[in-house]
């Protein structure tokens, strides 16, 4: 039976498709194949395919836009109704569900900076709120027999997805800003974990292949960093002398509040390598790819 990846051309979905298709018959759908919010069509297509595993990467990730009415409505559909629907379908078909959530379900303080898998979420923003509601739709079906892996992750970076509208990551935004500005303003707070999408895809595959117990997992690269730490490391690696100006979160006037601390502890499985090593590999691989082009 095949493995189905939803959002297969997104940033994470592209890597999952690459990793899973080396070992399994993998079917990858994105917006051009169908609108996942057309639940009737989605159910028909999935029932016809009969996947043993459904991996859902589709989400509404525009954190600030979630704060307004229209953004919240879209987030509710993709982040709550879709996992709710998929959980029911998987339960009915006996398929396993892998779904991704975020560190933004948590909000830490100076004295509480990191979070274990079993801690109770408490989000500061609407995006985190919808992702947590989506989590609950999955978790509550466990007692009825749903087999699931709920993977919380954060700050994804890596090769841009194959979708023509895939978002570029923080590091690529920093690099492109550095080509036009003399000084970059970067938030020197918000301690969290960066995660390289190929590492996350490989760890997801390992979770599946090792028959890990069902439940919640935190998969992020090792080491915590602020956005400022990450920008410093980026320009050090690229040997670029860029002036960085640290700012506090509240001085950026973003619509959604972000947690000052949202480090995810991985207490259950193999740790992923340090994000600095992953970042170095990302740029080495990117350089190799451009040599080939």
Ligand X SMILES: NC(=O)c1ccc[n+]([C@@H]2O[C@H](COP(=O)([O-])OP(=O)(O)OC[C@H]3O[C@@H](n4cnc5c(N)ncnc54)[C@H](OP(=O)(O)O)[C@@H]3O)[C@@H](O)[C@H]2O)c1
Q: Give, as one character, the DSSP assignment of residue 205.
A: H
Q: Give, as one character, the DSSP assignment of residue 168.
A: P
Candidates 152-160, 209-217, 229-237, 280-288: pick the segment binding ligand X (CB under 6 A): 152-160
Residue 195 Cβ vs ligand X, minimum distance, rounded to whole Å: 7
Q: Tell me the per-residue interface mask from 68 to 87 with ligand X, x by CB under 6 A, - otherwise.
A: ----------x---------
Residue 125 makes contact with ligand X by CB under 6 A: no
Residue 163 Cβ vs ligand X, minimum distance, rounded to whole Å: 4
By beta carbon distance, the residue nearest ligand X is 10
Residue 30 Cβ vs ligand X, minimum distance, rounded to whole Å: 5
> What CA–CA distance (Å, rounded) separates 79 from 237?
36
Please state, as a whole number, how many other Cβ atoms lie within 10 Å of the Cβ of residue 150. 21
Q: What are phi and psi of 80, to 5 degrees?
A: -115, -55
Closest by Cα among 65, 4, 9, 55 to 32? 9
Does residue 18 come out as left (phi exceeding 0), alpha (psi in the -120 to 50 range) or beta?
A: alpha
Residue 17 makes contact with ligand X by CB under 6 A: no
Residue of the chain from 1, 23, 25, 35 that contacts ligand X (CB under 6 A)? 35
Residue 155 makes contact with ligand X by CB under 6 A: yes
Residue 13 makes contact with ligand X by CB under 6 A: yes
Q: Pseudo-torsion of CA 193, 196, 199, 204, nearest 10°?
A: 70
Residue 227 makes contact with ligand X by CB under 6 A: no
Nearer to ligand X, 73 or 240 (CB): 73
Residue of the chain from 4, 46, 55, 59 that contacts ligand X (CB under 6 A)? 59
Residue 133 makes contact with ligand X by CB under 6 A: no
Pairing type for strands 195-196 and 156-157 reads parallel
Residue 11 makes contact with ligand X by CB under 6 A: yes
Candidates 32-40, 112-120, 139-147, 205-213: pick the segment binding ligand X (CB under 6 A): 32-40
Residue 184: its H or E element: strand 183-187
Q: Pseudo-torsion of CA 243, 248, 249, 252, nearest 10°?
A: -60
**Tokens of residue 5, six digits:** 């990846």
Residue 205 Cβ vs ligand X, minimum distance, rounded to whole Å: 15
Question: Residues in the chain, how many?
Answer: 293
Residue 9 makes contact with ligand X by CB under 6 A: yes
Residue 243 Cβ vs ligand X, minimum distance, rounded to whole Å: 26
* Distant-in-sequence, close-in-space partners of 11: CB < 8 Å, separation ≥ 6: 156, 158, 159, 160, 161, 166, 167, 169, 197
Residue 263 makes contact with ligand X by CB under 6 A: no
Q: Are 56 and 82 in contact (CB under 8 A)?
A: yes
Residue 11 Cβ vs ligand X, minimum distance, rounded to whole Å: 4
Q: Which residues of this chain interact with ligand X, rule CB under 6 A? A: 7, 9-13, 30-31, 35-37, 57-59, 61, 78, 100, 102, 153-156, 161, 163, 165-166
């Amino acid at each position: 039976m095949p493995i189905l990846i939803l959002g297969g051309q997104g940033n994470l979905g592209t890597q999952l498709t690459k990793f899973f298709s080396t070992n399994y018959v993998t079917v990858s759908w994105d917006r051009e194949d169908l609108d996942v919010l057309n639940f009737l069509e989605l159910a028909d297509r999935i029932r016809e395919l009969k996947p043993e595993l459904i991996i859902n990467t589709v989400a509404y990730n525009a954190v600030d836009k979630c704060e307004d009415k229209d953004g919240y409505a879209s987030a509710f559909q993709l982040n709550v109704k879709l996992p709710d629907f998929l959980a029911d379908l998987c339960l009915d078909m006996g398929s396993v569900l892998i779904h991704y959530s975020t560190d933004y379900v948590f909000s830490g303080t100076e004295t509480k900076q990191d979070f274990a898998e079993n801690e109770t979420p408490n989000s500061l923003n609407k995006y985190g709120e919808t992702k947590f509601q989506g989590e609950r739709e999955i978790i509550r079906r466990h007692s009825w027999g749903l087999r699931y892996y709920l993977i919380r992750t954060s700050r994804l970076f890596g090769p841009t997805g194959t979708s023509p509208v895939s978002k570029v990551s923080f590091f690529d935004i920093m690099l492109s800003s550095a080509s036009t500005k003399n000084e970059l303003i970067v938030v020197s707070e918000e301690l969290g974990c960066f995660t390289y999408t190929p590492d996350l895809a490989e760890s997801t595959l390992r979770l599946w292949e090792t028959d890990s117990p069902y439940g919640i997992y935190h998969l992020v690269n090792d080491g915590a960093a602020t956005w400022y730490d990450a920008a410093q490391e980026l320009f050090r690696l690229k040997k670029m002398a860029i002036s960085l100006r640290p700012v506090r979160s509240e001085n950026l006037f973003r619509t959604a509040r972000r947690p000052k601390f949202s480090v995810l502890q991985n207490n259950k499985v193999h740790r992923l390598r340090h994000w600095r090593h992953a970042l170095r590999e990302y740029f080495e691989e990117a350089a190799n790819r451009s040599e080939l082009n």
